[in-house]
């Protein structure tokens, strides 16, 4: 992220200087908890939940992806824990488009030497690839090799200058979306795309599985080393066979409520429950799920001013599908009852930073809906009280808060970093290793039971519990503020932004 980090102190006090209603104030009424909710968070309980999810993934082919048995087992676990805590639990079913192979794919090298590659080891079929049996010469498209390369292969149609129609395009990851690269290859007349990882950093060396919105030609993906090796061969000809189809699957959101209150308002928290297909999803996002389960288990001891709703989203990794389905299924009156939404997605990265969503837009020039600034201030003030630094992260559409902010519902939350590398400045500010990814196992099989920071898990759960208590126990839960300027409506009504070449 290009914005220079800054340490923020007493943020709630700063917001209060502009408006005495901006942050939740103590309430003298009957609402309250026997002890501060943050202090009741127990690391052993959080790890019990986190490791249970890790085990469920490993017991079900190493994944908890939406539509898989591992996800179903995870939903059962979460629903059972919430019911045991005394919450009203329901499952919200919805369908999504998925992709399945109808026959084993094949990738063969015909020349300069004959060789057959192994599916799942040497190559994978891109999700929503077209089917086909294609053989022909391979033409590299604007490739860039070596560490720290800045590949933008196939991001512009001009990259295909001199491309011979009917050939197979050898394309490199980086610089734009998977879809744009494939669309440009189609426009250039490619019969198929062989798409290899970028190789600029260690996290972009392995075999990967790009997801497309559509394709009219077959697309297979390779690890960086194999892609580079193929690119350096003269007279390369490949033969690939793909037989796949889109299918409709069903999955669920798990929703749990405390009893309704006289205020009629709801304070909502959410975390996505699904992992990517490649791994069991411990940090991404077992960490957020464990935090919510820990809070849910302690919350029934509190007398609440406002109802609290917990959501465990399905199919986030496929495009924020569960949260979008939920929010769009609500009536206008039901959405109006939602005072705010707190999002927890990756809060225990092994090389963590302390990111708070930039609700007031002061760092990233894109404020959230009215009330989001107060949420940011509440989190920032909590960490300032611990004398630890924080940094803003933008509402860039990479997680489930997007469904809420596009409907003008105040949102905020925490994030400890994904695939980007920690800068030297961030290492000095937050500790950890510079020039190493916040989560080196992001979207990978190694996002397992060893891939999380115990300190970050506990710290961020306690911060969330503190902010939840501040809003759920006070009346009104989120007063309006002159400092809470909403983002332009048109910007929030758009689809989530496209990211470099794959969603977080």
Enter the pTM of the model.
Answer: 0.83
What is the pLDDT at residue 201?
86
Peptide bond into 154 cis (omega under 30): no
Task: Compute φ and ψ for 181, nearest 5 degrees.
Answer: -60, -45
Place of tokens 């198929």: 192
Query: From CA 241, how far away is CA 105, in angstroms rounded?
Result: 6
DSSP codes, 472-486: HTSSSSS---TT-PP
3-state secondary structure of 238: strand
Give residue-wise pLDDT tens across range 49-99. 999 999 999 999 999 999 999 999 999 999 999 999 999 999 999 999 999
What is the pairing mode between strands 355-357 and 411-415?
A: antiparallel
| CA contacts within 13 A on the Cβ side of 290 | 35
What positions carry a catalytic annotation?
A: 316
pLDDT of residue 6: 35
Given a cut of 50, the residues of the chain with pLDDT beneath it are: 1-29, 479-495, 497-504
Q: What pLDDT does residue 478 have? A: 66
Closest by Cα among 374, 439, 337, 366 to 22: 374
pLDDT digits (tens, 9 = 90+) for 113-172: 999 999 999 999 999 999 999 999 999 999 999 999 999 999 999 999 999 999 999 999
Domains of the chain by start residue, with CATH: 11-97+254-493 (3.40.630.10), 103-242 (3.50.30.30)
Report d(CA 114, CA 447) in Å as an integer: 36
> Exposed, middle or buried by CB within 10 Å (0-12, 13-18, 19+), for 156?
middle
The CA R_g of the chain, rounded to the nearest whole Å, is 24
Q: What is the Cα–Cα distance from 238 to 218, expressed in whole angstroms? A: 13
Q: How far, in Å, CA of 47 to CA of 70, rounded?
A: 19
Any idea which residue has 């697309």 for tokens? 219
């Amino acid at each position: 992220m290009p914005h220079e980090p800054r340490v923020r102190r007493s943020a709630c006090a700063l917001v209060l200087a502009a408006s005495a209603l901006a942050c939740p104030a103590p309430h003298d009424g009957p609402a309250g908890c026997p002890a501060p909710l943050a202090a009741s968070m127990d690391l052993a309980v959080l790890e019990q939940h986190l490791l249970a999810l890790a085990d469920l993934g490993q017991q079900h082919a190493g994944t908890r992806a939406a539509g898989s048995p591992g996800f179903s087992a995870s939903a059962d676990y979460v629903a059972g824990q919430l019911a045991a805590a005394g919450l009203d639990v329901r499952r919200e079913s919805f369908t999504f488009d998925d992709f399945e192979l109808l026959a084993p794919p094949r990738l063969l090298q015909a020349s300069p030497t004959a060789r057959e590659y192994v599916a799942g080891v040497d190559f994978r079929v891109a999700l929503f690839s077209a089917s086909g049996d294609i053989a022909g010469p391979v033409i590299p498209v604007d490739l860039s090799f070596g560490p720290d390369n800045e590949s933008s292969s196939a991001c512009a149609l001009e990259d295909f200058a001199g491309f011979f129609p009917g050939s197979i395009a050898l394309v490199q990851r980086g610089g734009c979306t998977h879809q744009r690269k494939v669309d440009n290859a189609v426009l250039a007349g490619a019969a198929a795309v062989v798409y290899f990882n970028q190789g600029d950093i260690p996290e972009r060396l392995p075999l990967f599985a790009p997801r497309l919105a559509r394709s009219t030609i077959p697309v297979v993906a390779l690890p960086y080393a194999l892609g580079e090796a193929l690119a350096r061969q003269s007279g390369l000809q490949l033969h690939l066979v793909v037989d796949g189809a889109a299918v409709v699957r069903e999955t669920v959101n798990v929703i749990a409520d405390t009893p309704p209150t006289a205020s009629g308002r709801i304070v909502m928290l959410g975390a996505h429950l699904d992992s990517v297909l490649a791994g069991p999803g411990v940090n991404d996002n077992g960490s957020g799920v464990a935090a919510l389960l820990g809070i849910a288990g302690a919350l029934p001891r509190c007398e609440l001013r406002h109802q609290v709703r917990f959501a465990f989203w399905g199919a986030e990794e496929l495009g924020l599908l569960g949260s979008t389905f939920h929010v769009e299924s609500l009536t206008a009156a039901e959405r109006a009852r939602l005072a705010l939404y707190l999002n927890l997605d990756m809060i225990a990265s092994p090389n963590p930073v302390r990111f708070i969503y930039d609700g007031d837009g002061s760092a990233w020039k894109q404020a959230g809906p009215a009330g989001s600034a107060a949420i940011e201030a509440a989190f920032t003030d909590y960490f300032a009280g611990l004398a630890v630094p924080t940094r803003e992260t933008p509402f860039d559409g990479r997680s489930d808060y997007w469904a809420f902010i596009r409907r003008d519902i105040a949102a905020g939350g925490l994030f400890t970093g994904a695939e980007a590398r920690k800068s030297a400045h961030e290492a000095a500010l937050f500790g950890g290793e510079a020039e190493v990814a916040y989560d080196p196992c992001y979207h990978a099989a190694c996002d397992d039971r060893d891939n999380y920071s115990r300190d970050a898990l506990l710290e961020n759960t306690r911060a969330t519990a503190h902010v939840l208590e501040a809003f759920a126990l006070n009346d009104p839960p989120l007063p309006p503020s002159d400092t809470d300027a909403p983002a332009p409506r048109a910007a929030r009504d758009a689809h989530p932004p496209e990211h470099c070449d794959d969603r977080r």
